[in-house]
Amino acid sequence: MITVASCSSSLLPSLQSLPGFLFKSRTFFYFHQIQNPQRFCKLFTQKRFHNALLSPQSSVQFPSHPNPDILLSYLISAVSSCSSISYCRAIHSCVIKSFNYTDGFIGDQLVSCYARLGRADDARNMFDEMPNKDLVSWNSLISGFARRGEAVDEGKYIHGFALKLGVLWEVKLVNSLINLYGKSGYLDAVCRLVETMPVGNIVSWNLMIASHAQNGTAADGVGYFNLMRRAGINPDDGTVLSLLEACENLGLLKLAEGVHGLITKCGLYANATVATGLLDLYAKLGRLNYSLKVFREVNNPDKVAWTAMLAGYAVHGNGREAMELFEGMVKAGVEPDHVTFTHLLSACSHSGLVKEGKNYFDIMSQVYGIEPRLDHYSCMVDLLGRSGLLNDAYELIKRMPLKPNSAVWGALFGACRVYGNIELGKEVAERLFSLDPSDSRNYIMLSNMYSAAGLWRDASKVRALMKEKGLTRNPGCSFIEHGNKIHRFSVGDRSHPESEKIYTKLEEVIGKIREAGFVSKTEFILHDVEQAVKEDMISKHSEKLAIAFGLLVTNAGMPIIITKNLRICGDCHSTAKLISLIEKRTIIIRDSKRFHHFAAGICSCGDYW
DNA sequence: TTAGGGTTAG
């Protein structure tokens, strides 16, 4: 039994002699009597206690206990499960003050807690305080740095140290280092380490696949998988998760289907992490129907699985479905969290559901006790801005208690561009320039805004500023899968072997839509050049070339799925709509922000691109 | 009477 009592501070001395745990919130002191440690541990994972412990005024005191190690151990495991950095710090200082535990397993646990909470520096400080470090301490520290993903120097330091200590060939340590180097973009070091490694295990293989997937050589990662199979090693959940990551980076649906088959064959489908990873991948590859199929096959989907499906609906612009899914989630008794709400709000915004989005934003804090974060604010600004409520969006930014970041201002900037509000756009652009002076996208967008309004002089000033800062435009390119290969196109690209046919097809299709009365939206060209030249440039945009290629190589009735590295341009957007109508094709384009489904002359984004 | 390290999905 745990008894929880709130009392005034005058009762404190008498309570402190009891075995229990004491903490104070802003107004009350609470005392927990520990008779059943397991329940005690569970208690700390409950949210109502987090709030008290999380408040800045809270402090933690330990009354006497027959075995303080046990008490601390419970506390620390509670810390790691409640993911609270302030609580972790409170325990840390208490450990130092009251018990002076700076080594042994208590120290290891704290290093691990900090590492798992992503606090590499705190983990490092704790680690440095410990006089006796064992392998577990080392591994905990490395995993903390790996999570941060920019720790090559620390990796080298630890690597050298481990060599000196003669513990490098502990497989878990090597794996930690592979992970650290891989996450830090240091693939060379990964390969060198593995070449000299006496013996690895399945985790080492999985990490090799993941390291390649994360560093732009996903095809080599798949190669490692084939080597692994030839070596007679059976894949596990970690293997397929690494492969799913490789699929995402290669963008190959065929490969994803192969991994899906592998998952089924190896009986890994029951693993919630694997199934969720698969459904997320299908959504990212434009196959929302496959995602839904996987989702329906998951037994008792958890919060993450529901949210992954919701995120799929959101990015494809299926707002109503997302809302229904959310209702289903609540009905199933699964508690949504801040990530769920981010995607739900984003779904509302991508579908223009203003009233609904506002309502979800309200109930998020009022019903679910989730305080809005920056992501939620940028969704709300996008939602309001998209429907033309630019002032409301701006007011929300002024009112928000957090310091707006570039995502929040960027959402408003996007709305300024769509609604041609140059005055506000200029102001917002200044904010973005000061927040992120080297992000060329903001300069391009402002310049485009001026160009669209015919303000050529202002547009060229922005371009000059870009040049002065040495910023270049990230070249746009589009990708399309065909015959187990990704075909890449850039503007005016003639490098494809089928180039002649592609241009002929493109001319034919554009001819058809011009006959239907369509005029190129040449305001999307940055430069102030002759109309004819503009039309020529814009007609060779990478997404148009990819569409023409898709029309050539796929059968009638098949959807054409294209990925673009930047936002789709307005002219390509209109062209894709008309092609979908004239050629009777579904065209799906994933740009850097969302999916556009073009069918029968309309786009799922409702023309707010 | 209990706890720590390597891959791990939204």
pLDDT, tens digit, 9 for 90 and up, residues A290-338: 999 999 999 899 999 999 999 999 999 999 999 999 999 999 999 999 9
Give the pLDDT band of residue A76 (cuts 50, 70, 90).
Answer: low
Nearest nt by C1' to A314 Cα? B10
Phi-psi sector, A118: left (phi>0), alpha (psi -120 to 50), beta? left
Tokens encoding A400: 């928000």
d(CA A373, CA A412) in angstroms, rounded, equals 17
Question: pLDDT value at position A264?
Answer: 94
For nucleotide B1, the protein residue with its alpha carbon nearest to C1' is A70
Arithmetic mean of pLDDT, A102-113:
73
Q: Which residue has the tokens 């990551």?
A: A245
Nearest nt by C1' to A67 Cα? B1
Question: pLDDT value at position A95?
Answer: 65
CA A238 – C1' B6 distance (Å)?
11
Nearest nt by C1' to A200 Cα? B6
Output b/e per residue, A192-228; b: 16+ Cβ within 10 A: ebbeebeebeebbbbbbbbbbbbbebbebbbebbeeb
Q: Which helix (H) or strand (E) holds A259?
A: helix A253-265
CA A255 – C1' B5 distance (Å)?
33
Strand B footprint nucleotides (protein C-beta < 7 Å) = 1-10
3-class secondary-structure state, position A477: strand
- Tens of pLDDT, residue by residue over A365-420, are 999 999 999 999 999 999 999 999 999 999 999 999 999 999 999 999 999 998 99
Tokens encoding A133: 């470090």
Q: Looking at this protein, which amino acid is placed at residue A470?
A: G
Give the pLDDT band of residue A136 (cuts 50, 70, 90).
Answer: confident
The answer to whether the CB of A601 falls within 8 A of the CB of A578 is yes
Beta strand A4-7 with A29-33 is antiparallel
Question: pLDDT value at position A165?
Answer: 67
Arithmetic mean of pLDDT, A131-138:
82
Nearest nt by C1' to A315 Cα? B10
CA A196 – C1' B9 distance (Å)?
32
CA A274 – C1' B8 distance (Å)?
9
Q: Which of A3-7, A215-219, A239-243, A360-364 has the lowest mean pLDDT?
A: A3-7
With 60 as the cut, is the pLDDT of residue A46 above it? no
With 80 as the cut, is the pLDDT of residue A166 above it? no
- Tens of pLDDT, residue by residue over A404-463, are 999 999 999 999 998 999 999 999 999 999 998 989 999 999 998 998 888 999 999 999
CA A196 – C1' B5 distance (Å)?
22
| Exposed/middle/buried for residue A265 (C-beta within 10 Å: 0-12, 13-18, 19+) | exposed
- Tens of pLDDT, residue by residue over A511-564, are 998 887 776 665 555 555 556 666 677 778 999 999 999 999 999 889 999 999
CA A308 – C1' B9 distance (Å)?
8
